[in-house]
Amino acid sequence: MKTSEKKTLHLPILVEQDEDDFYIVSCPVFKSCHSYGKTIDEALANIKEVIEMCIDEERRRFRK
């Protein structure tokens, strides 16, 4: 029986604040990996989702 084990990745995250006080976040490891939020916590939660999508996309790309 195979167990699903999540691993922790430590990736660089860039955080900026725009003129409307939104937090813009990006992960430079992946091309076009950006998100935003009204709070830092919201922005970080959003970028985690985007990073997961980028990782899934990379896995699919290398399986071909």
What would the pLDDT profile of 2-28 be if each residue is shown by its tens digit? 556 778 889 999 999 999 999 999 999
> What's the confidence (pLDDT) of residue 6?
74
Q: What is the CA radius of gyration of the chain?
A: 14
> Residue 2: its pLDDT value, please?
56
Whole-angstrom Cα distance, residue 28 to residue 33? 7
pLDDT computed for residue 7 by the predictor = 81
Cβ atoms 46, 39 nearer than 8 A: no
Predicted pLDDT at 62: 86
Give per-residue pLDDT as tens, 27-63: 999 999 999 999 999 999 999 999 999 999 999 988 8
